Amino acid sequence: MTQTIFITGASSGMGKDTAKLFHSKGWNVVATMRSPEKETELTELENVLVLRLDVTDHDSIDAARDVAVAAYGKIDVLLNNAGYGAFGPLETFPMAGIEKQFATNVLGLIATTKAFIPHMRANASGTIVNVSSMGGRVTLPLASLYHGTKYAVEGFTESLRYELEAFGVRVKLVEPGNVNTDFSSRSLEFVMDQSIQEYLPIAGGMTKLFEKMGPDASEVSAASEAIWSAATDGSDTLRYVVGEDARKILSKRNSQDDDAFHATMKTMMT
């Protein structure tokens, strides 16, 4: 029987590339996005259903799930991909921006997951793939909010694994390093008050760190192929790291204690 994947944030980047990859492999694809009326490519593909879903609008999650189940009967894989980055010194962020970051990357992912558990439990099968980041296990400066959300996704997923494996549902984490999507131009909200001098040195250090890490960025296909593996390899593997940059930095993180790793990162900011 043809299998079906349900994707959040399928309007661009990894979500869209994953939709196209699964379609090319003969899957049914439910490609959800905030503004489906703007989509012109996925709507042309057979067995791709484009639906509206904003992860911060929980009614839209239930509505899209119901349409998807009515169309395809069974959802085999849920890909929680929607997300964005709130970067900048914490004190310059309005509370509304902080709440939006967690409402999208954490509560939106949790609400979508929760909406599909009864369906997967009834089928005694299913795989939930959560797009975290290497930033769910290591941190960069001026990104306390983004890392807070991705560390939350990691803890949430690890614990949920115990809960769902009992009835045949797998949960997995995809942890990309830098991936060449439009994330930094369209999904990165940088809030900084230049008049607060104290943050200028760390902002400069962050720029240097990004410059050093930039050349190691992966193509988007590396991320969608990792998602394909997570969804289809039949294993209970929890984590799928994407990219040489992520592999290198996570290996360094695992080999050093907290303070040594902090010092290593600071040398990369000079």
Ligand X SMILES: NC(=O)c1ccc[n+]([C@@H]2O[C@H](COP(=O)([O-])OP(=O)(O)OC[C@H]3O[C@@H](n4cnc5c(N)ncnc54)[C@H](OP(=O)(O)O)[C@@H]3O)[C@@H](O)[C@H]2O)c1
Binding site for ligand X (CB under 6 A): 8-9, 11-15, 33-35, 54-56, 81-84, 104, 108, 131, 133, 176, 178-179, 181-183, 186-187
**150 given a catalytic annotation:** yes
Nearer to ligand X, 60 or 92 (CB): 60
Nearer to ligand X, 75 or 131 (CB): 131
Question: Rounded CA gap, 55 and 50, in Å?
Answer: 15
Active-site choice (72, 146, 151, 240): 146
**132 given a catalytic annotation:** yes
Question: Is the CB of residue 163 less than 8 Å from the CB of residue 178?
Answer: no
Minimum Å gap between C-beta 197 and ligand X is 30
Active-site choice (72, 150, 224, 240): 150
Within the chain, strands assigned E span 4-7, 28-33, 48-52, 77-80, 85-87, 126-131, 169-176, 188-190, 239-242
Active-site choice (132, 133, 218, 224): 132
**146 given a catalytic annotation:** yes
Nearer to ligand X, 121 or 148 (CB): 148
Report CA 251 to chain centroid distance, whole Å: 21
Within 14-63, strands assigned E span 28-33, 48-52
Nearest residue to the partner ligand X, using Cβ? 13
Other CB atoms closer than 10 Å to residue 77's CB: what's the count?
26
The residues that are catalytic are: 132, 146, 150
